Structures are given as C-alpha cells and as structure tokens.
C-alpha cells in the first residue's frame, strides 16, 4: 500500500452490534470488513504509465458504493500530479453501477500542467463497462485572504445517538435490499442531528445535519484525508431531497442512484476528527433530486462543499434485489 501507514486503533471496531458488529454473525451476516477496506481500497497496481487497477474488496453490497469509486478516481489522479499540488476540486459523473467482485481499471489523462494548477481527466471501467468519468484539479498552496460561512449551532456529537445504534434497532423491519448497505460493518461513525427518518410519510424540511468521523486513527499527508472525505461525501444527500416530498428512503417502490457529484476543498481537516456535514435540497423534479452541502471542522471552519444530483424514481411495482 502506498504512502504513510493508516493507523487502525481499537476505535475502528468499536460497538456491540448492528452496523458495527465486529464479526460476521447471525445478527450481522454481511462480509464487509472496514479494516480490509481501509487497507486495500487504494492498493493500486500501476499497469502502464497513468494506468491503474485495483482489486475488489470483499463486500455484500448489491453494487459498488459511489463514495468508494469517487475516492479511487481522485487518488488515481493525485498519483500523476507533483506532490506540491493538492486537490482543490473534482467533478464526476456516475455511468453504470459497478460489480463488487470485479477489478476496477482506472485511466488518467494529463490535461494541463501549469506552474500553479494541474488538471486531470479520469476514466474508470470494469471490462467494457464505464463506471465513472471525473475531472479533478490540483494547485499549489498559497497564502491569501479568506473567509468561511458560520457553522450552524447544533448539539455536540457526543450527545447524539450513533446511526449504527439506530439502524440496529430498525434491522428487523429494514427491507432486505437495504440491509447490505446499512447494516454492514462500516468505517464511519455517523451521528444524525435530526431524528433519522424511517417509514416516514410526512413532508420534512429540506435540510439535515450529521456529525461524522472515521473510526480509529488515520495518519498521512492531506491527500489521505481528502480521499476519505470524498468517500464520505456521497452519503445522505439523496435522502435529504426525499423528505420534502414525503418519500421515505425505505419505500419498496423507490429507485435511487447518484448521477453526478462534485467536491470543492477549502481548508485543511482530519477525517478522524469530528466534522459536521450540513445538507440541503433546493429542488427536485423530473425524478431527479438536487442536493448540496458544506462540511465544517469542529472549530467552525468550512473545509469543503459538495453538490450532487440523484435519481429518485417511483416505480409501479415493488423493487427487489436492487437499490
């Protein structure tokens, strides 16, 4: 594995049950291992100049998690850029759902290399199937004036219930197709600020907040934290857009999928420290939901912004075995 090590402290496997069960069991039959994912998600093999492959990480998911392939494409681009340039933004389109047992092939094209900026085009495939297209931009660090919008006043994360505990209570009522995603062992400790909706038919406000941090200790340069933030940024945006329409994410007839995704990095952060993800959905229609968010350090500094559009299609019949 490339770069300074990821230190996996005992906190990586904290928790007694639900999504944080430490072993595969009757309570949690899903094979996902957060330690394996942390160690192997970026275990790239360079097959040719600016060409990489990465083996699948064992998973019970019905399709590849979008945040995982976002982070892999960003990191592949980063490997072709001088060390003094760090990512300041990326824009990606999801193309086809990825298989969880297939190799991801990544091709990077060096679009520009200037004194301050470098731009990369990234193409991820599985065989002949296109998974993702990304444009990523990198720049040298500079001293300059700056500002940050205020962080919302929300309860501290220590006072909020972990999402894993909430999902453990709901596990018996969770539709089978959602179990592999929500009940698997995960790297991130999510703490919803608002009550987490389930089987809800009321119209909810188009905004939500979550505290989150990666379990254990993650060491390494800033790009290590950037790629894991990209991973986390694909969570909860589509669901924020469902609430105002009175559609519950567990609805048996609902088909959802991330379509495009962008992140802008503003300042330094650590993903193993608490970060606040504030989300809102300004609009939805035509079976599409648009969402955006800001991510804050606990000291109130806005460190990243996110934008995404996703498919939210209500089908005529029950959807099984697919998301």
Q: What is the pLDDT of residues 232-268, one digit of tens each?
A: 999 999 999 999 999 999 888 999 999 999 999 999 9
Q: What is the pTM of this model?
A: 0.91
Residues counted in the chain: 323
CB of 307 within 8 A of CB of 268? Answer: no
> Three-class SS of residue 191?
strand
58-69 per-position pLDDT tens digit: 999 999 999 999
User: What average pLDDT does range 288-300 have in this prediction?
Assistant: 98
DSSP string, 95-115: -SPPPTTS-EEEEEEEEEE-S
What residue spans define the domains of the chain? 10-140+157-314
> Three-class SS of residue 52?
strand
On the question of pLDDT at 9 being above 50, the answer is no
On the question of pLDDT at 1 being above 60, the answer is no
CB of 83 within 8 A of CB of 141? Answer: no
Fold of 10-140+157-314: Porin (2.40.160)
- pLDDT band of 8, cuts 50, 70, 90: very low
What is the rounded CA–CA span in Å between residue 132 and residue 74? 11
């Amino acid at each position: 594995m490339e770069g300074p090590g990821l230190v996996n402290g005992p906190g990586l496997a904290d928790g007694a049950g639900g999504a944080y069960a430490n072993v595969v069991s009757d309570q949690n039959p899903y094979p996902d291992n957060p330690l394996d994912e942390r160690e192997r998600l970026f275990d790239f093999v360079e097959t040719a100049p600016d060409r990489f492959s990465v083996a699948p990480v064992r998973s019970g998911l019905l399709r590849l998690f979008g945040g995982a392939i976002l982070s892999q494409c960003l990191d592949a681009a980063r490997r072709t850029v001088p060390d003094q340039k760090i990512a300041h933004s990326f824009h990606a389109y999801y193309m086809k759902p990825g298989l969880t047992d297939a190799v991801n092939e990544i091709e990077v094209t060096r679009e520009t290399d200037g004194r301050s900026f470098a731009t990369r085009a990234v193409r991820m495939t599985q065989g002949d199937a296109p998974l993702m297209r990304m444009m990523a931009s990198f720049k040298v660090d500079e001293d300059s004036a700056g500002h940050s919008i205020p962080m919302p006043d929300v309860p501290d994360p220590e006072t909020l219930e972990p999402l894993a505990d909430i999902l453990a209570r709901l596990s018996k009522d969770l539709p089978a197709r959602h179990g592999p995603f929500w009940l698997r062992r995960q790297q991130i400790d999510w703490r919803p600020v608002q009550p987490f909706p389930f089987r809800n038919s009321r119209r909810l406000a188009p905004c939500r907040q979550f505290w989150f941090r990666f379990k254990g200790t993650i060491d390494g340069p800033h790009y290590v934290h950037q790629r894991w933030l990209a991973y986390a940024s694909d969570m909860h945006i589509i669901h924020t857009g469902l609430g105002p329409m009175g559609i519950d994410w567990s609805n048996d007839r609902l088909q959802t999928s991330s379509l495009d995704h962008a992140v802008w990095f503003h300042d330094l952060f650590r993903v193993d420290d608490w970060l606040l993800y504030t989300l809102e959905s300004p609009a939805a229609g035509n079976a599409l939901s648009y969402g955006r968010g800001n991510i804050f350090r606990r000291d109130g500094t806005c460190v990243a912004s996110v934008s995404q559009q996703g498919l939210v299609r209500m089908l005529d019949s029950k959807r099984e075995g697919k998301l």
